[in-house]
Structure 1
Amino acid sequence: LIDIGNKLNTVLGLTQFNTALGLANLGLSAIGFAVVISKLDQIDSRIQNLQQSISELKDKIDRSLLAKAKSAINVAEIALKMSSQTNRKRLVTEVIQPLLEAEHYYQAAWDSNWNENNGILAREYILILSLVYVTEIKCYLELEEHEMALKRLAEAKEVLEPRIRKYVKLLLTENPSGYLHRDCQGVSLSSVVEILKYVKGESDASKLFDEYIRPAIFNSQSIKSWTDSIPLRSRNAILAIIAPSLIDTGGWIIWDPIVWDPPRREAILSNANQVIATAQSMIELDRRLEGYRYEITEMTRLGLSYQEWQSLVLPPRSSPENLDSKVLLLLLA
């Protein structure tokens, strides 16, 4: 009973740790392979839409490896339902190789897209990488290879964190005060400042306001002057989120005022809150990685198997509670 009590106290500590990070659920134990597949399908659909909207990308998106990764995840899900531990571990081991291939491919794809196509697929590639890494880490946990799971998680953070920061900075634009214009509905000052904290690595909100918002806020009185001042890379990244069909590829090479014709400007203003929400979700994704590390470390310290850990942190399978609605990490629309 004392041992169980200590373990339950640890779970409570994890909840408090997660709350301190501003997260609602650690997520790693609760993310099922079926959920991962569902999210990859959504991302794949968005990539197809972008591909159809932007002819220059048609020959640069290879979706076959994503299909291969999804197939591997399906095998992992089947393996974990097997009663034979030997067969289960054999199949889970086989799943890891195609996941590694996907990680290398999409890391290179992110870099290429960032350099050649202004990062309009940056969000999608970040999410694919995140989901694939999480699946691989869960596979190692199923194999009781906790140390390897931590090593792979460390690599995931090393790969993802700088790319997430670059992407969030791109969405914020060089003049974040523009998002506070009265025409940008649903965007709060606190949201913009919190994103600035992450991008600049500065915790002093007043200092950030004085340095990055106060001097420029009057320059945003004219919403046209703000939209015209947004760098080309940020323009396309923003439109990729809210209106892929409005991306103007002509603006990638030279300054093209038509990129901000009325339909495009209206799309930006009416959906500015979606851009801010995307930036916030990317920041949460980065923070979740630290939550994962803490979760696996505690699992190892207590000498628990992954299955034992899940029995502590998850409701019984017969529970009517809907887990999917509570898992925030990587379940981005």
Structure 2
Amino acid sequence: MSLPVTVTFMLTDWIAKGLADGTFERVGGVIRDVATKQVVSWLREKESNNNEMPNSTPSPNNLLNLIFSWANLTASGANAAVTGKGLANVNGRLNGIENQLVQLEQSLQLTQGILQVTTATSVLNLGVSVMGFAVIAQRLKELEQQLQKAQEILNQINRKIDLSLYANFRAAIELAVNAFTMNKTENRRSSALQAINRFLEAEHIYTEYTDIEIEQKSQIADKYLLTLSLAYLAEARCYLELEEHDTAFRRFQEGSKVIRSRIQKYVELLLTSNPAVYLQPQFGSHIDLRRLTRIYQWLDPMLDENAVFDMQRMNLFMLAQDPNKWVESIPAAIWDSKVDWVGKAFWDDPKPQIYARLPKTLEVVESMIETNRRFESYQTEVQAISQLGISFHDWLKLTPSTEIKPDDAELMYIIPSQPLNLQISS
């Protein structure tokens, strides 16, 4: 069957150019036109053998591939000039190419690898197709282990974490896995619906847990929020396996609303009462205004660097005038005196310990935003499956037909024959 998409391991020149000049942007697992919001490509991560939490450290090979794919366009012009203008002109053109490559590489680095690489890791992969039940189970296990470690610390203040419900979630995943290995359609559907009911129960439970922990400004709020994301994803995956695309899309939409609102509360919590604290000189090599602006643009896309700086002018002054006032208002999600300052003398200064945590805290903020964007981008895949007339199982099987996969290929690009108008609801 001929499908209206091109699947490749190499990013095409025109998309690379659009990303470099700002015409296109990556939002989660999609590349889209900034102006029209039309989707021009999906990103699909390679499937990991061990299903470990993805590490989004920039890959030099992928950056160079993008740079040189764009350079080919310019280099072809230089080659054509050989016969007409001589070697001197060619050298001049090549110098120009070199300058463009340097500028392009700097641009890509400044945007922190606008494709598959960001400074933020995520509990979710790029591409809903690679978020199978085995991957969801592994992510759930990692979150449960993190909560177990947190429990050891919270025992100091007699705070208990209820981990028993994670066993129910795991059982629901196992039920779903078994359902989709059954041969008889009626048995498969019946078991899948039982799993869906358990995932729905998990959604209600972890929504409540998340709300409680955010209200308490807790250090474990993000773990419950990520668990909630996995519950919605597992439910939607069941509907996709059943080829119930409309229902899967609706559940992704509803899940996006629930998750986005809570991630926003959590992000605002971690920005603290005075976000200018992240712009202190001591963080200059790690955190700059551009990085903080990207976070604010997720909250309000209309903001630019100037607007964000204006928002922080008075905050910077207030922080310099009385830093202790900010310390008194810091949420327990970042630093909890009952846990982190036990045994200290009253004259000890907690600020160095608190400040040391801020770079990591900002990474958590970026990770939560990246997770939200990836979850929301799953909606576009489900819409595409319907619009392009592809079954979910055919979508899973998409792979380049003629290309040999490079050893260092981390992504596959799925490019529709025409940009698609697909909506992302949040």
Indicate the TM-score class for this superposition, using the shorter chain for normalisation: 0.7 to 0.9
Letter in 1 for 2:265: K
Report the CA distance shift for 1:186/1:215 in structure 2 as closer, same or farther (over 3 A): same
Find the partner of 1:311 among 369, 389, 397: 397
Q: Does 1:166 align with 2:265?
A: yes
Report the CA distance shift for 1:10/1:294 in structure 2 as closer, same or farther (over 3 A): farther
Show structure 2 runs of 5+ residues with no match. Answer: 16-23, 35-113, 117-124, 413-426
Higher mean Cα deviation, 138-147 or 191-200? 191-200
8 Å CA contact 1:181–1:220 kept in 2: the answer is no
Structure-1 residue corresponding to 2:212 = 112
Taking the aligned partners of 1:76 and 1:297, their CA distance within structure 2 comes to 23
Structure-2 residue corresponding to 1:252 = none
For 1:97-152, what per-residue CA distance to the aligned partner results, in whole angstroms no more than 9, with x for missing partners? 1111111011111222233x223322111100001111111111001111111111
Measured after TM superposition, the shift of residue 87 of structure 1 is: 4.1
8 Å CA contact 2:232–2:252 kept in 1: the answer is yes
Structure-2 residue corresponding to 1:36 = 136
Q: Point out the structure with the larger helix share.
A: 1
Structure-2 residue corresponding to 1:19 = 31
Structure-2 residue corresponding to 1:53 = 153
Structure-1 residue corresponding to 2:253 = 154
Measured after TM superposition, the shift of residue 326 of structure 1 is: 6.3
Q: Point out the structure with the larger strand share.
A: 2
Structure-1 residue corresponding to 2:373 = 287
Structure-2 residue corresponding to 1:239 = 335
Find the partner of 1:93 among 193, 209, 230: 193
Structure-2 residue corresponding to 1:205 = 305
For 1:243-289, what per-residue CA distance to the aligned partner results, in whole angstroms no more than 9, with x for missing partners? 995177xxxxxxxx96x954x53333223221111111111122223
RMSD after superposition: 3.7
Secondary structure, aligned partner of 2:287: coil
Structure-2 residue corresponding to 1:179 = 278
Q: TM-score, normalised by structure 1?
A: 0.78
Find the partner of 1:142 among 232, 241, 249: 241
Taking the aligned partners of 2:279 and 2:153, their CA distance within structure 1 comes to 30
Measured after TM superposition, the shift of residue 176 of structure 1 is: 1.4
Letter in 2 for 1:19: I
Structure-1 residue corresponding to 2:106 = none
Report the CA distance shift for 1:78/1:148 in structure 2 as closer, same or farther (over 3 A): same
8 Å CA contact 1:191–1:276 kept in 2: the answer is no
Measured after TM superposition, the shift of residue 153 of structure 1 is: 0.9
Taking the aligned partners of 1:182 and 1:218, their CA distance within structure 2 comes to 13
Letter in 2 for 1:265: K
Report the CA distance shift for 1:167/1:31 in structure 2 as closer, same or farther (over 3 A): same
Q: Does 1:229 align with 2:326?
A: yes
8 Å CA contact 1:165–1:199 kept in 2: the answer is yes
Taking the aligned partners of 1:69 and 1:157, their CA distance within structure 2 comes to 20
Taking the aligned partners of 1:314 and 1:127, their CA distance within structure 2 comes to 32
Structure-2 residue corresponding to 1:253 = none
Structure with the greater alpha carbon radius of gyration: 2
Structure-1 residue corresponding to 2:362 = 276
Show structure 1 runs of 5+ residues with no match. Answer: 249-256, 328-333
Measured after TM superposition, the shift of residue 28 of structure 1 is: 0.8
Taking the aligned partners of 2:411 and 2:223, their CA distance within structure 1 comes to 22
Structure-2 residue corresponding to 1:301 = 387
Measured after TM superposition, the shift of residue 314 of structure 1 is: 8.9
Report the CA distance shift for 1:215/1:16 in structure 2 as closer, same or farther (over 3 A): closer
Report the CA distance shift for 1:155/1:52 in structure 2 as closer, same or farther (over 3 A): same
Pairs within 5 Å for 1:313-328: none
8 Å CA contact 1:198–1:283 kept in 2: the answer is yes
Report the CA distance shift for 1:187/1:261 in structure 2 as closer, same or farther (over 3 A): farther
Measured after TM superposition, the shift of residue 160 of structure 1 is: 0.8
Q: Number of aligned pairs?
A: 306
8 Å CA contact 2:334–2:357 kept in 1: the answer is no
8 Å CA contact 1:103–1:133 kept in 2: the answer is yes
Report the CA distance shift for 1:287/1:19 in structure 2 as closer, same or farther (over 3 A): same
Secondary structure, aligned partner of 2:331: helix
Report the CA distance shift for 1:151/1:75 in structure 2 as closer, same or farther (over 3 A): same
With a CA cutoff of 8 Å and minimum separation of 6, indicate the structure with the bigger relative contact order.
2
Letter in 2 for 1:238: I
Q: TM-score, normalised by structure 2?
A: 0.62
Q: Which runs of 4+ in 1 moved over 6 A?
A: 9-17, 318-323
Report the CA distance shift for 1:125/1:190 in structure 2 as closer, same or farther (over 3 A): same
